[in-house]
């Protein structure tokens, strides 16, 4: 029963980007530590250079990832616990749910 576990306080995540360029935001929200934010770009392995890194994210560090540019991002993602999407603490983004501006809806017609 995931409701009885402190899933967000025990799971470590590891990510490695194979393709594309990703923007990552990390926000440290661990109790007793100062709130800090990091925002950086990670090059996938197909863009060889100093920005090819693996990222290890401890419990209590919120994270967001998005593709930077038009190239698809492919990543290898591992967790220290059994991954259960329903147990993930997810904050939905306005980008995901935003409607088109009125001017675009008019331009595209009533089918939008």
Question: Per residue in 38-81, pLDDT tens?
Answer: 999 999 999 999 889 999 999 888 888 989 999 999 999 988 87
pLDDT at residue 112, as a whole number = 46
Q: Is the pTM of this model over 0.85?
A: no
pLDDT at residue 26, as a whole number = 92
Question: For residue 49, is it left (φ>0), alpha (ψ between -120 and 50) or beta?
Answer: left
- Confidence check: pLDDT of 35 > 60: yes
The model's confidence at residue 100, banded by pLDDT at 50, 70 and 90, is confident
The model's confidence at residue 6, banded by pLDDT at 50, 70 and 90, is low
- Give the tokens for residue 19: 């393709």
pLDDT at residue 29, as a whole number = 85
Q: Which DSSP helix (H) or strand (E) runs through 35?
A: none
């Amino acid at each position: 029963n995931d409701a009885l576990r402190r899933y967000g306080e025990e799971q470590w995540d590891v990510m490695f980007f194979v393709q594309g360029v990703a923007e990552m935001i990390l926000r440290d929200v661990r109790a007793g530590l100062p709130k800090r934010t990091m925002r950086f770009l990670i090059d996938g392995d197909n863009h060889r250079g100093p920005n090819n890194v693996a990222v290890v994210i401890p419990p209590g560090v919120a994270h967001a990832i998005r593709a930077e540019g038009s190239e698809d991002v492919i990543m290898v993602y591992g967790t220290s616990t059994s991954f259960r999407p329903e147990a993930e603490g997810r904050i939905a983004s306005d980008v995901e749910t935003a409607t088109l501006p009125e001017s675009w809806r008019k331009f595209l017609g009533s089918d939008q």
